[in-house]
């Protein structure tokens, strides 16, 4: 309590001295647009100006990728912090790493402020000389409810896990200060508060919509030369293109991994480990999917915590196209040398994978374990992955590419009852298979030492994914989520 009083006193002193210092100079620019052009050194686009000048208490931005969401709100927050001494501003996002990136963007803009305005800059916090604080907060309703916040910004809100609880906490905290809430995102799951905010008139938000066409240079920051790359990556997946570029809610109903499932698996504290980092005290399982010309080779590493029995994806490396298999093997060897806890590397032995897997064992990677992809093994691998996610035993880092790739995987059920997995032509699912292989290797590894129904009862216990009503079936049959009845299989 005493420490808190002391901090309050220090803050009040800082504010007083700031006001005294600023008597002889102009306190700040009169509006946030002029602030951006004159002080921060960038010219806001038309749609950015609208947000900068929007004085509504609740503001929602549904904008395409690379349209300048984070930059706009970062500038607005800096302006608010400077013009309202002693205010508390918060940034929340799907991961702490992302929140740090938002603070980093603000810090780069803040570097252009006149000297004496900023007191200190840290990775998660900026302190202004006038006593205002901009700080990254974890996605924890209790932490958000604690202080009275004058402005809260949720970056990529549609990818924040459990956004309902967070939203309630934000309303609570800004009600004390009559503060402002800004939510920005590319569209994600429709089973979310962000979706409600955008679509439900009961949520009193000022709404701003920006598509890639609005954001394309010279009108916006989306670079013309970046467009072919984005097109190549997204256009063959119409749902992803629609979400990320047209900024429209769209989800493939045949997706085996719905966005909601993936968003809920994101652990905000998790980020990929670098090869140079030390990993100790955990059991690691790697999965390796081979590709070279058309598909990528990808290596995924999942860490299993023996105490909590939870698994986390801690490393995901996609090799550039045309990487020699010797390069892929070399990387796996380095990984095993560095992270001695890798107990299994599960590989796909289909096609060339057979020879590469044999070579891995030859050079001493004895933990290599090959699986040949058949309709049956593919089903086992992806069902196992689905089950790990839905039972919340597997956590993912916030990785937009992985989420997009997994969500693109479709599942159909053939006449003979077999599951058929596919992804839109021109898109990739190598990250998904590498992760699936790692988790499958982990499941097999753990089943040797732990309870497993197949061992207990001597038979295979089939996986039953969540069932949902399929109104398309005249007989009213139930089909599992992500499955579709295929009538025209060749």
Ligand X SMILES: Nc1ncnc2c1ncn2[C@@H]1O[C@H](COP(=O)(O)OP(=O)(O)O)[C@@H](O)[C@H]1O
Which residues sit at the interface with Mg ion, rule CB under 5 A? 69-70
Least distance from C-beta 46 to ligand X, angstroms? 10
Nearer to ligand X, 217 or 324 (CB): 217
| DSSP β-bridge partners for residue 298 | 289, 318
Nearer to ligand X, 96 or 328 (CB): 96
CA-nearest of 272, 279, 213, 275 to 248 is 213
Q: Dig out the tokens for 15 from the structure.
A: 């504010």
| DSSP β-bridge partners for residue 154 | 92, 183
Which residue of 39, 67, 312, 388 would you call a contact of ligand X, by CB under 6 A?
A: 67
d(CA 373, CA 433): 10
Nearer to ligand X, 65 or 387 (CB): 65
Nearer to ligand X, 44 or 287 (CB): 44
Residue 187: how many other CB atoms lie within 10 Å: 24
Q: Does 185 bind ligand X (CB under 6 A)?
A: no
Q: Does 42 bind ligand X (CB under 6 A)?
A: yes
Which residue of 39, 71, 192, 384 would you call a contact of ligand X, by CB under 6 A?
A: 71
Q: Does 68 bind ligand X (CB under 6 A)?
A: yes
Which residue of 32, 33, 35, 66 would you call a contact of ligand X, by CB under 6 A?
A: 66
Q: Dig out the tokens for 256 from the structure.
A: 């085996």
Cα 90 from chain centroid (whole Å): 19
* Extended strands (E) in 58-194: 58-63, 88-92, 118-122, 125-128, 133-136, 151-155, 180-185
Q: Does 243 bind ligand X (CB under 6 A)?
A: no
Give the residue carrying structure tokens 């100006």.
49
Cα 347 from chain centroid (whole Å): 26
Q: Does 69 bind ligand X (CB under 6 A)?
A: yes
Nearer to Mg ion, 102 or 394 (CB): 102
Which residue of 28, 32, 33, 44 would you call a contact of ligand X, by CB under 6 A?
A: 44
Nearer to ligand X, 44 or 85 (CB): 44
Least distance from C-beta 186 to Mg ion, angstroms? 9
| Residue 221 binding partner per list ligand X, Mg ion, none, with a CB distance cut-off of 5 to 8 Å that depends on partner kind | ligand X
| Residue 67 binding partner per list ligand X, Mg ion, none, with a CB distance cut-off of 5 to 8 Å that depends on partner kind | ligand X
CB 133 within 8 A of CB 198: no
Give the residue carrying structure tokens 């950015």.
48
Q: Does 65 bind ligand X (CB under 6 A)?
A: yes
Non-local (6+) Cβ contacts of 285 within 8 A are: 301, 302, 304, 342, 343, 344, 346, 438, 439, 441, 442, 445
Q: Does 70 bind ligand X (CB under 6 A)?
A: yes
| Residue 29 binding partner per list ligand X, Mg ion, none, with a CB distance cut-off of 5 to 8 Å that depends on partner kind | none
Least distance from C-beta 216 to ligand X, angstroms? 12
Helix, strand or coil for residue 61? Answer: strand
Give the residue carrying structure tokens 């670098």.
274
From 43-51, 197-205, 292-300, 330-338, give the range in contact with ligand X by CB under 6 A: 43-51
Distances (CA, A) of 197 to 182, 204, 249: 11, 8, 13
Nearer to ligand X, 65 or 393 (CB): 65
Give the residue carrying structure tokens 């897997």.
357
Give the ranges where 151-303 is alpha helix by DSSP (H). 163-177, 193-199, 212-215, 227-234, 238-244, 259-265
Q: Does 63 bind ligand X (CB under 6 A)?
A: yes
Site for ligand X in 193-232 (CB under 6 A): 221
Nearer to ligand X, 70 or 88 (CB): 70
Least distance from C-beta 70 to Mg ion, angstroms? 3
CB 337 within 8 A of CB 329: no
How do beta strands 311-318 and 298-304 pair?
antiparallel
| Residue 45 binding partner per list Mg ion, ligand X, none, with a CB distance cut-off of 5 to 8 Å that depends on partner kind | ligand X
Nearer to ligand X, 44 or 179 (CB): 44
Q: Dig out the tokens for 10 from the structure.
A: 């220090």
Q: Where do contacts with ligand X occur on this chain (CB under 6 A)?
A: 42-45, 48, 63, 65-71, 221
């Amino acid at each position: 309590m005493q420490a808190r009083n002391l901090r309050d006193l220090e803050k009040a002193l800082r504010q007083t001295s700031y006001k005294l210092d600023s008597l002889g100079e102009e306190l700040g620019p009169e509006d946030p647009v002029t602030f951006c052009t004159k002080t921060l050194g960038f010219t806001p686009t038309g749609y950015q100006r609208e947000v900068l000048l929007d004085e509504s208490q609740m503001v929602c931005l549904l904008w395409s990728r690379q349209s300048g969401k984070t930059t706009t709100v970062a500038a607005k927050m800096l302006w608010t912090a400077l013009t309202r001494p002693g205010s508390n501003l918060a940034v929340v996002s799907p991961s702490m790493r992302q929140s740090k990136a938002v603070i980093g963007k603000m810090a780069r803009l803040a570097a252009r402020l006149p000297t004496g305005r900023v007191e200190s800059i840290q990775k998660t916090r900026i302190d202004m000389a006038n006593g205002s604080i901009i700080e990254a907060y974890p996605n924890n309703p209790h932490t958000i409810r604690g202080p009275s916040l004058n402005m809260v910004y949720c970056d990529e809100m549609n990818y924040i896990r459990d956004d309902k609880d967070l939203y309630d906490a934000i309303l609570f905290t800004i009600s004390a200060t009559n503060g402002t809430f800004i939510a920005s995102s590319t569209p994600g799951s429709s089973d979310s508060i962000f979706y409600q905010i955008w679509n439900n008139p009961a949520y009193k938000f000022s709404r701003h919509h920006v598509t890639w066409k609005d954001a394309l240079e010279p009108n916006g920051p989306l670079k013309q030369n970046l467009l072919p790359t984005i097109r190549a990556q997204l256009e063959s997946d119409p749902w992803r293109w629609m979400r990320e570029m047209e900024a429209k809610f769209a989800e493939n109903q045949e997706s085996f991994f719905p966005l909601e499932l993936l968003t809920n698996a994101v652990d905000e504290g998790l980020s990929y480990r670098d090869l140079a980092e030390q990993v100790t005290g955990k059991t690691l399982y790697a999965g390796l999917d081979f590709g070279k010309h058309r598909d990528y080779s990808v290596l995924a590493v999942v860490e299993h915590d023996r105490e909590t029995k939870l698994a986390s994806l801690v490393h995901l490396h996609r090799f550039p196209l045309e990487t020699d298999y010797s390069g892929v093997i070399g990387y796996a060897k380095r990984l095993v040398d560095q992270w001695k806890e890798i107990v299994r590397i599960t590989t796909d032995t289909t096609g060339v994978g057979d020879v590469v897997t044999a070579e891995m064992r030859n050079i001493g990677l004895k933990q290599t374990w090959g699986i040949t992809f058949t309709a049956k093994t593919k089903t086992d691998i992806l069902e196992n992955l689905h089950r790990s996610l839905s039972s919340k035993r597997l956590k993912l880092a916030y990785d937009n590419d992985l989420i997009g790739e997994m969500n693109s995987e479709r599942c159909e059920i053939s006449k003979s009852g077999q599951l058929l997995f596919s992804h839109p032509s021109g898109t990739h699912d190598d990250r998904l298979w590498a992760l699936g292989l790692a988790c499958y290797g982990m499941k097999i590894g753990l089943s040797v030492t732990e309870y497993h129904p197949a061992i207990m009862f001597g038979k295979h216990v089939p996986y039953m994914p969540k069932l949902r009503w399929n109104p398309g079936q005249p007989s009213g049959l139930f089909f599992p989520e992500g499955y579709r009845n295929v009538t025209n299989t060749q």
